[in-house]
Amino acid sequence: MDAIEIHGGRPLAGEVDVSGSKNAALPLLAATLLAEGRHHLGNVPLLADIATMGRLFDHMRIDLDRDEVDPRRVTIRVPSSPRAEAPYELVKTMRASVLVLGPLTARLGHARVSLPGGCAIGARPIDQHLKGLAVLGAEIRLEHGYVESSAPRGLKGGRVVFDVPTVTGTENLLMAAALAHGTTVLENCAREPEVVELARVLAGMGARIEGAGDAVVTVHGVESLAPMKVDVFPDRIEAGTLLVAAAITGGNVVLHRCRLEDLDAVAAKLREAGTRIEPIGDGVHVQGPRVPAPVDFRTAPYPGFPTDMQAQLMALCTVADGSSVVQETVFENRFMHVSELDRMGADIKVEGHTAVVKGVPSLSGAPVMATDLRASASLVIAGLKAQGTTLVQRVYHLDRGYERLENKLSQLGAEVRRIRA
């Protein structure tokens, strides 16, 4: 298994491009199932999770071809009746495969999708997805670890009230309702930029959607949709991760192709920590402080502080000149980076869903273990600051959501390299 070796202590400097968004690309790939024909997507990031979606499409007899010259340009040929099944061996490596459930049920009238099961950060149930599809008339059966969803006469409009604002739950139901007979009202929806982008692309395919980005979204079903042609927008979590990397090293960096408006909550906290952040051209200029100030923060659904940035900002707090209180309200087990950061000399105490981070003057490099995607990013960030060498192991977690992060960091002057272990 590969590892990332970092010699810490160098301020980042220079310019780098932000890649296409993993959490926008995955629902867009699923949305291609809604329309037979050839779909064209650009700026699709080269990530393990996207490759997993490609293997899933293979299984479903859908051709996904990457352009020879620009591998981030993807053509997808969806047949009239793809194989409506997502098997366990693929779904277990990527929970977002569950996003095929809504489109398959809506267009083909049936789907057999493995239950994703939990993951390192939590139980990750999909009860809200299933409840919503049932409201639209799907018959849902759970057996042998699979969800069988069927609606032979198609889905019908209905009123779905989510118990929690679930991102992929909202995305699944948006896609299902787009082809349902009649009007659907979705309440307590997730408002993340990726949800708004999916609705925008669905509208471009012919869907009739009002209110995406608000808690209540109305979808008027249509008979059929046309293939999409879209460029995936920038990954706000990768951008946020790079902002924190610049901040912790006291660096001076310009991120290109990044939308500061999607990062308000993150930028606000980084400014509170003493970081200078301002929009510049097609991106953002960031200047880190000599020593960060402590910041208290609490994760929440968008527009609150994103849970996907909690581990990264906590890494910054470990070297602040004071104590920070961090509350994780979205997932039940998203503090696994804490014990590894403590091995690097951080001083963090966890009480339930709250972590108290007492700033220390410096971190020391150490061999550490990645446990999940964003925890591994947090350890890389800490390694950039730590004195000496940090070896982040099991970086397959990192490769799920970051396009060769080590290359981007070395482009910014960090002493970092991938070791084929």
Q: Which residues bind ligand EPZ (CB under 6 A)?
A: 22-23, 26, 96, 122, 124-129, 164, 166-169, 190, 307-308, 330-331, 373-374, 401
At its nearest, how many Å lie between ligand EPZ and the CB of residue 47?
A: 10
Task: State both tokens at 307.
Answer: 């849970």
The answer to whether the Cα torsion of 166, 170, 176, 180 is positive or negative is positive
d(CA 32, CA 50): 14
The residue among 359 and 401 lying less far from ligand EPZ, judged by its C-beta, is 401
CB neighbours of residue 188 within 10 Å: 17
Q: Which of 244, 281, 215 is nearest to 381 (CA)?
A: 244
Which lies closer to ligand EPZ via its Cβ, residue 1 or residue 164?
164
Kindly calculate the radius of gyration of the chain based on its CA atoms and give it in whole angstroms: 21
Q: Which residues contact 11 (CB under 8 A, 6 or more apart)?
A: 249, 250, 251, 252, 288, 413
Whichever of 9 and 304 has its CB closer to ligand EPZ, that residue is 304
**Which is nearer to ligand EPZ, 195 or 254 (by Cβ)?**
195
Specify whether the CB–CB gap between 368 and 337 falls below 8 A: no
* Contact of 409 with 381, CB cutoff 8 Å: no
In sequence order, what DSSP letters do the residues of 158-200 get, joined into one string?
-EEE-SS--HHHHHHHHHHHHTSBSEEEEES----HHHHHHHH
Q: What is the largest CA-CA distance in the chain?
A: 65
C-beta closer to ligand EPZ: residue 86 or 254? 86
Task: Tell me how far, at minimum, the Cβ of 101 lies from ligand EPZ, in Å.
Answer: 11
Annotated catalytic residue 119? yes
Minimum gap (Å) between residue 415 Cβ and ligand EPZ = 26
Cβ of residue 27: shortest distance to ligand EPZ, in angstroms?
7
Q: Closest separation between CB of residue 199 and ligand EPZ, Å?
A: 14
Please identify, using beta-carbon distances, which residue of 16 and 375 lies nearer to ligand EPZ.
375
Whether 353 and 121 have beta carbons less than 8 Å apart is answered as no
Q: How far is the CB of 99 from ligand EPZ (least distance, A)?
A: 7
- Residues taking part in catalysis: 119
